[in-house]
Each structure stands twice: as C-alpha cells, then as structure tokens.
A and B are shown apart, each in its own frame.
Chain A
Amino acid sequence: MSKTNLTRRGVLKTGAVAGAGVALPTIFTASSAAAYTNEPTGSSVTLGFNVPQTGPYADEGNDELLAQQLAVEHLNGEGDGGCLNTFTSKALKGNGILGKKVEFVTGDTQTKSDAARASAKSMIEKDGAIMINGGSSSGVAIAVQGLCQEAGVIFMAGLTHSNDTTGKDRKANGFRHFFNAYMSAAALAPILEKELGADRRAYHLTADYTWGWSQQESIAAATEAMGWETVNNVLTPLASTDFSSYIAPVLNSGADVLVLNHYGGNMVNSLTNAIQFGMMEKVVNNKDFKIVVPLYSELMAAGAGENIKGVFGSMNYNWQLQNEGSKQFVKSFGEKYGKPPSNSAQTCYAQTLLYADACERAGTFNPCGVAEALEGFEFDGLGNGKTLYRADDHQCFKDVLVVKGADNPTNQYDTLEIVEVTPAAQVTYEPNHPMFGGDEASLGTCNAG
C-alpha cells in the first residue's frame, strides 16, 4: 500500500497551504507527505478506543473505556501514575508518548464486525487515530485486526479469547494481551483433575459459532488427555435465551460434569438454568455433579449472582491478585471509579501502556517500529506478573488464573476466588500448534500504511 492511503490527518497537518482565503486547492497523496498512516505531527497523538457501547456487552465495554481513560491519564502524568510506578520498563515518563500529549477518540463496536470496522475506520480516517484498542468478542477482534493491518495502524486487542485471533488469523499489526481458549484448557485441566478426579464424564454445551467450537475443542482435548470422557457435545444457537431444553437431557446422560462453553448472556442464562434444574445438588456416579465455565468474567459472575458458587473457570486477571502491579492498578482504578477493575479492563489498560511504552522504546509511532519493540518484549508490573509478548504470533504468555465461585463472598466484588495461579510455562504452546493454524499461519509483513 505504498501508493494509497486511507487517511488524511497526517497529510492535513503537514500540508502547509500557502496563501490565505483564496488558496488554490493543493492536492497531496499520502506517500509524498507522511511516512506512515496518521503520523502525528502536532503536539498530540490520538489513540482510538473501540469498545461496545450499545448492545448486550455495553457494560463490559464501559469498563474497558474507564480503564483506557485511566491509562491515558497516567500516560499524561495525571492522577497517581498507576502502573507506571511498577512497570519494569521505565521508558514512560508521564509526559505523554514521545513528548506528545495523549488524546483519545471512542467508537461503538455494537459487538458486530461491520459496525466495529466502520467505527474503527472512522477513527482512523477522520480522527487520525494511530492505534485501535479494545473490543469484547473474537469476531470483532479478528475483523478489526484485519482492518488495522490494511490501514497500517497497530491493533491492540481487548477481550478476545478465540485461538484464531493469534492463531490462523494472526496479523503483523495485531497484538493480544488476553489469554485464549487453549490456555484456559491447559490451566484448567490439572486443577479439575486435582479437585474433581481423573475419572469424570463431561457433557459440553457449546455456543454454535467459531469461538464456542474452538473452546470446546481445546477443553475436550485437555480433559480427555487426563482421562475424562466426553459424553456429548451439544451446539446451542447464539440467539437462545432459554436453555432448559438443552439442560434437561444432561440429567439422564450419565454425565457428572457440565461444561458450559458460553459467554456473556448465553452463559448467564445457561448457568442459571442449570442451577434451576438442581444440578449442583445432584450426585451422579457416586460423585458430586460439577459445572465448569472455562471463560469467566466479573460481569457474567455478577449477572449469574449466587448461581456461580462452586463453579470452576479461568480468567486472564483478577483484582485479588497480590503482586505489586495488581495492587497498584486496583488502587488507582478503585479510587477513581469506586469499584475494582474487571479482567477486560485490566487488559485494555495494560495494552494502552504497552503500546505507549513500545513507542517510547522504538522512538517512533511508526507501526513497524512499534511492532518490533513489542515483539519478544518481556515485562512485569502491569498486574499479571512476568509476561512475554511472543514474537512469533504476537500473543502474550503469562500466568493464567483458575477461579471458582466463592462459597461465602463478603461483598459484591469477591464473588470469585482464585484457586490456583497456573504458571505461564504450563500454558505455553508452539506457535505452529495445529489449533493455531499449524504451519500455514503467518503474521505476514508489517504494514505502515
């Protein structure tokens, strides 16, 4: 894309137009004016925060937005500095990025690929955003990642859990801090074995679309490897609201574990329905019946209320983690907004700081330079412990949390308790793992627009 461009802000800023009032139209193309898409030339740099603001994930998106705003504050040296104090890289000075004040624009993904691409484009084309951050579903993340690759800006994914984001759909301009379905499975399996035993019969309910399938595949593979039997896997339509007709057959199937490969509203309803049918009180095959929700989020836990007691799952981050970075982040976030951060909020916060830090270290906003600075970058102090941004697939490798619905929560925020912190080494896989596109998957080359 050397001859073309998608944007004009950089052009506009550099294009000095001679003569006032009746100036002759001056026509530029991007290649002649800017080195890369949306090169910031003024005293500020614009980041684009693309999160769901309408639709069922609006609250999740709002949490992400709060975290991103907090990150911008810290980057500009306002507030208490947050994780800049604990981050192992000391490149950020609290004076913006590369001396430029950080500004941001926001867009509404509506959790639809089309709408998400439209709002991302609008931020890139109209507002001159140099990086897009956020989102709360894998479909949106992959769609926007592709767009950012074409447009020549960096994409920092928010909540996206599908293997594909950094698997077969990985892109040179895209980076994911969040964990994925494979990691969930790898982290959960040993704990499930320890807590529930190696001789279990699992019944899967799976949301009938790409993410659901990829999670089901990962969990089934990991649990079967330790001796579990997969009794059945039933696909449920995304539009389902009532899961009773899927839950009822579980009771007679001889299964003693129910795995809910659902997210968001689907998960809240299927779990609520499962509890309604008295599953947690059942004894099957002389074992207590158990429910596993491989991907947990705080908002889903809140939506499911009491029903999550004793239900196992995994998370990317939880505010109860006691490392320095986590304590600092919870303090900053909690004091500003009066509630602890969710794990998607933490991801978006960390991604914003990581991007800024990479710019500082690279000394440029050029996406290729930034990508290079992020690749293979090892850091700590953002809340997850020691973390590596792997160069091969732009996936972060860090500890994964196995959590359980708390039996006796003391307040509305500690409804989940951390059962185990699975070390990063246990969830690491080869970049050409078959679940991640195998040998065919490639990042392609970085695009600077």
Chain B
Amino acid sequence: MLGLNKKDTTLLIAVAVLTMFAPFFLNPFPSDSAMAQFNAGYPDLMQRFVIFGIFAIGFNILFGLTGYLSFGHAAFLGVGSYAAVWIFKLFTYNVVPAIILAVIVAAVFSVLMGYVSLRRSGIYFSILTLAFAQMMFALAYSVLSNPKFNLTNGETGLQVYPNDPQMFHPDSMQDFPHLFGLYMNSTYTMNVGPWAFDFNTGYYLCAVVLLAVFYLAIRIFRSPFGMMLRAIKSNQTRLNYTGLNPRPYTLAAFVISGAYAGLAGGLMAAMDPLAGAERMQWTASGEVVLMTILGGTGTLIGPVLGAGFIKYFENIFSKINDAVLHQWFAFLPDGLEDFVVFLIHPFVGKGWHLTLGILFMLVVIFLPGGLVEGGQRIGKWIKSRGKSKDTGPKTEPAELGE
C-alpha cells in the first residue's frame, strides 16, 4: 500500500490508529479517580506528544541514518515558531501559510548552518551546530529584542498584540489560530460514564501532519537516498573511495531534518501563538537527542515513543505534590502513610528531574536500543516462552533489516 512493504504498512496503520484514538488511550482512568493524575489525554499534552514526535522523527533522519549528532536542532524549531508568529502578526491567523513559512525559513537556516557545519564530522560537527544554535539563542533572547529592532520580543516571547496589522484577519473572527475557520483550541468533550475524552482540533491537525511526515520518513528510510545515508554512517572513507561525494547527501538529510524541526516549531506556534527564545537553548536541542536515543536511534517509531516518554514525565510527574501523595496513601495507617510519602517525595513533584535522570541511565544501561529494543525483547520473550532459551539478548536495529 502506498508503495510500502507489508511490515511498513502495518507500522503506518498502527501509528495511524494510535494517533487517531489517542484521546481514548491517554485517558484510561475515570476522571474522578485518584489515578486520574496519570491521565495524559488533555489537549495541550496530546499536542506536545505529536509535535515533539515530529521533531524527533526529523532529527532521527539525520542522526539515525547518517550518524551526525547535531546539538543545534532546537534552533530550527525556534526560527520556525518565530516565522509562524510573524505571519500571525502581519497577515492572518490561518495556520496554513504560517506553517508553510515556518518550514521554509527553518530549511533556509538549516542550509546555511548545515553547509558550514558539515565540513566537519564527529564531535567537531556536534560542537559547530551547538555553537551556531547557542549564538542564535543568545541573539534572540537579548540582542534581537531591542526596542529599535524587535524581532523576537526576547524574554517575554513573540506574541500577537491587538495593534498588529493582521492584514487578512477579518474582525468577525476570533483572535486565535485557525484552519479556515476551525479554531485550534476548540475541543469536544465526550463523556462515557465516569470517563471523559477530549477531541481537540489542534491535536487532530498535528496528528494528520504527523502521519504525513511519518509516511515521508518511511519512504526516506527505504529509498536509495536512505541507503546512501546509511552507507555514510557505516563507512564514510570507503564511500569516498568509490568516488562518491557524501556531502550533498548529508546536507540534504540535514536540511530535511531542519525542515521537520521548523514544521514542529510552526505547529507549536499554531497551537499556542507565542514563540519564546528558550525553545532554542542547547538544553532543548539536548532534549531531542535524548528523545531519539531513548526511543531507539535509527528506528522509525522510536523517536515518537521517546518524545512521548519525556513529555509525559515533564507534564505529569512534575505535578504530583505532597498533597496528592497523601491523598493516594490515605488508606494506610498515619505513621505508615507519612513514611511512604516521605520515601516517594524526592522522586515526584519538584524531584521529577531526578526520576528522569535515573530512568535515562537505566534505559541506556540495560536497553541500548532504547524503548524499541525493550518492546522487541518483550515480544521475543513472549514468543519464545516454552521454547528453549537459544537467543541471547542480541540487538538488531529495529526495522532496519529489510
């Protein structure tokens, strides 16, 4: 189907089902129960899952296929956001031109940064991208927000003000990004018994975009171009001897992944029309590296899983405070309750960074192939149950073997 082999088609369909029915999957607990704390099916977080999924898929096209580790991809996400908000400010709240411009601007920036950075490889490449991105962050945060030439609005973030021109924005419409009249923040809530499921326009726009770019990523992975990128990863010297110049291929991969990041940035601005410089900081670039490796480098679905994993932590674990803990363990006798809360306290709420750090370490130590490898191992274990243990924990990069 769609030029994909059977395995890839299954994967695509699985992703389609997962994204389309995410509002159900992510809200498994009745909203009045104590476990509702773990529900993730509210519009903002669902949008973030998908947007960072797109970002990570794009990053994986560069890092997973060519092995070039960029520490500057957040910069493209940032310029994409800025471009989109400028469209909102100057022309219209319609998200289509905003997202298109976000992709184009990010691609242009990535051509420039990629052309220079790809002259070096290994850690030198990483540091070059990091340096470019940090420069862009520093400029966006302060220098480019000075009153005379305010391009980024600095610390506060670029946003739409009532006195902006907005040339094609009719007064009859609300002041919020929309897709030909469908507002990104409109949500329908479905109540089934004690459960409540949110269906948000913005989320579904993001989800459809995710499916499209996921399909594109599969095609890239399976194309001769993708093979070439993998050849670059495995042995660049040998490739040089064959008389092929790898640079155009790596640059193409760099620009594609930059455009993916710009797309994610544009979508972010479309969901919430504010663009801050912090999303360009090196820690934000580091986050997408973590997402990709955590999920499974070089796999198709891994980066999406990694993105979901990290965003879930950031948004759900950070909100568990002592009051919530006491509520959960209220059934225990007083002394024991306090003790259990005392034990868990350092790891949740303001300690969510600690838990995340520990989990990173555990995943990297025990699951070098990321979450995808974890899934494969479980799958294998289920299959081989009853049979003799003949397969060691050998990792294959998932979906790489045709």
Q: Are B350 and A28 in contact (CB under 8 A)?
A: no
Q: Are A209 and B191 in contact (CB under 8 A)?
A: no
Tell me whether B183 is interfacial, beta carbon within 8 Å: yes
Complex interface: chain B residues within 8 A of A139 (CB):
154-157, 276
Q: Are B44 and A122 in contact (CB under 8 A)?
A: yes
Q: Are B138 and A169 in contact (CB under 8 A)?
A: no
> Which of chain A's residues 230-249 have a Cβ closer than 8 Å to chain B?
235, 237-239
Q: Are A25 and B141 in contact (CB under 8 A)?
A: no
Complex interface: chain A residues within 8 A of B176 (CB):
1, 4, 150
Q: Are B350 and A114 in contact (CB under 8 A)?
A: no
CA separation between A58 and B192, bound complex, in Å? 40
Complex interface: chain A residues within 8 A of B39 (CB):
126
Tell me whether A119 is interfacial, beta carbon within 8 Å: yes
Tell me whether A208 is interfacial, beta carbon within 8 Å: yes
Q: Are B157 and A4 in contact (CB under 8 A)?
A: no
> Which of chain A's residues 188-243 have a Cβ closer than 8 Å to chain B?
208-211, 213, 235, 237-239
Q: Are B196 and A122 in contact (CB under 8 A)?
A: no
Q: Chain A residue with minimal CB distance to B184?
A: A4
Q: Closest CB of chain A to B234's CB: distance in Å? A: 37
Q: Are A112 and B154 in contact (CB under 8 A)?
A: no
Q: Are B191 and A17 in contact (CB under 8 A)?
A: yes
Q: Closest CB of chain A to B130's CB: distance in Å? A: 14
Q: Closest CB of chain A to B29's CB: distance in Å? A: 12
Stretch at the interface among B64-72, B317-325, B381-389, B391-399: B317-325
Contact of A209 among B31, B155, B174, B193 (CB under 8 A): B155
Q: Indicate whether A210 sits within 8 Å of B314 (C-beta atoms), given known contacts A4-B185, A12-B31, A105-B319.
A: no
> Which of chain B's residues 133-155 have a Cβ closer than 8 Å to chain A?
138, 141-143, 145-147, 153-155
CA separation between A3 and B193, bound complex, in Å? 25
0 or 1 for each of A117-145: is its CB under 8 Å from B? (1 = yes): 11101110111000000000111001100
> Which of chain B's residues 317-352 have a Cβ closer than 8 Å to chain A?
318-319, 321, 323, 349-350, 352
Q: Closest CB of chain B to A63's CB: distance in Å? A: 12
Contact of A237 among B42, B142, B155, B191 (CB under 8 A): B142
Q: Please indicate which of the listed interface residues A58, A61, A107 has the most CB atoms of chain B within 10 Å of its own CB.
A: A107
- Tally of chain B residues near chain A (CB < 8 A): 51
Tell me whether B241 is interfacial, beta carbon within 8 Å: no
Q: Please indicate which of the listed interface residues B138, B315, B319 has the most CB atoms of chain A within 10 Å of its own CB.
A: B319
Contact of A107 among B153, B319, B353 (CB under 8 A): B319
Q: Are B318 and A108 in contact (CB under 8 A)?
A: yes
0 or 1 for each of A6-31: is its CB under 8 Å from B? (1 = yes): 11110110010100110101111110
Q: Are A106 and B321 in contact (CB under 8 A)?
A: yes
Complex interface: chain B residues within 8 A of A238 (CB):
141-142
Q: Are A1 and B349 in contact (CB under 8 A)?
A: no
Q: Are B191 and A25 in contact (CB under 8 A)?
A: yes
CA separation between A256 and B122, bound complex, in Å? 51
Q: Are B48 and A118 in contact (CB under 8 A)?
A: yes
Q: Closest CB of chain A to B333's CB: distance in Å? A: 22
Q: Are A4 and B191 in contact (CB under 8 A)?
A: no
Contact of A114 among B43, B187, B188, B278 (CB under 8 A): B278
CA separation between A58 and B191, bound complex, in Å? 38
> Which of chain B's residues 143-191 have a Cβ closer than 8 Å to chain A?
143, 145-147, 153-157, 159, 162-163, 174, 176, 183, 185-191
Complex interface: chain B residues within 8 A of A320 (CB):
none
Q: Is the interface of A mostly helix, strand, loop or mixed?
A: mixed
Q: Are B276 and A17 in contact (CB under 8 A)?
A: no
Q: Chain B residue with minimal CB distance to A24?
A: B192
Q: Indicate whether A113 sits within 8 Å of B278 (C-beta atoms), given known contacts A5-B186, A25-B190, A169-B156.
A: yes
> Which of chain A's residues 379-422 have a Cβ closer than 8 Å to chain B?
none
Contact of B196 among A8, A105, A119, A442 (CB under 8 A): A8
Tell me whether B373 is interfacial, beta carbon within 8 Å: no
Q: Closest CB of chain A to B363's CB: distance in Å? A: 21
Q: Please indicate which of the listed interface residues B45, B155, B191, B192 has the most CB atoms of chain A within 10 Å of its own CB.
A: B155
CA separation between A407 and B315, bound complex, in Å? 45
Q: Are A138 and B156 in contact (CB under 8 A)?
A: yes
Complex interface: chain A residues within 8 A of B192 (CB):
17, 23, 25-26
Q: Are B189 and A11 in contact (CB under 8 A)?
A: yes
Tell me whether A164 is interfacial, beta carbon within 8 Å: yes
Q: Are B189 and A12 in contact (CB under 8 A)?
A: yes
CA separation between A106 and B322, bound complex, in Å? 10
Tell me whether B272 is interfacial, beta carbon within 8 Å: yes
> Which of chain A's residues 279-320 have a Cβ closer than 8 Å to chain B?
none
Q: Indicate whether A112 sits within 8 Å of B189 (C-beta atoms), given known contacts A106-B321, A143-B156.
A: no
CA separation between A187 and B25, bound complex, in Å? 56
Q: Closest CB of chain A to B291's CB: distance in Å? A: 16
Tell me whether A278 is interfacial, beta carbon within 8 Å: no
Complex interface: chain A residues within 8 A of B193 (CB):
17, 20-21, 23
Q: Are B155 and A8 in contact (CB under 8 A)?
A: no
Complex interface: chain B residues within 8 A of A239 (CB):
138
* The 5 A-B residue pairs with the shortest CB-CB distance in the complex, in nearest-first order: A53-B350, A139-B155, A4-B186, A8-B189, A121-B44
Residue numbers of B with Cβ under 8 A of A are 31, 39, 42-45, 48, 138, 141-143, 145-147, 153-157, 159, 162-163, 174, 176, 183, 185-193, 196, 198, 272, 274, 276, 278-279, 314-315, 318-319, 321, 323, 349-350, 352-353
Q: List 25 A-B contacts (CB under 8 A).
A: A1-B176, A5-B185, A8-B196, A12-B191, A17-B192, A25-B192, A26-B191, A27-B190, A28-B191, A53-B349, A104-B323, A107-B318, A108-B319, A108-B349, A112-B276, A121-B43, A122-B44, A123-B319, A125-B42, A137-B155, A143-B159, A143-B276, A146-B274, A209-B154, A237-B142
Extra inter-chain contacts (18) besides given A4-B183, A30-B189, A105-B321, CB under 8 Å? A1-B174, A3-B183, A5-B185, A6-B185, A8-B189, A15-B191, A27-B189, A54-B352, A104-B323, A113-B276, A122-B315, A126-B42, A138-B155, A139-B154, A143-B274, A210-B145, A210-B154, A238-B141
Residue numbers of A with Cβ under 8 A of B are 1, 3-9, 11-12, 15, 17, 20-21, 23, 25-30, 53-54, 58, 61-62, 69, 104-108, 112-115, 117-119, 121-123, 125-127, 137-139, 142-143, 146-147, 150, 164, 169, 208-211, 213, 235, 237-239, 440, 442, 444
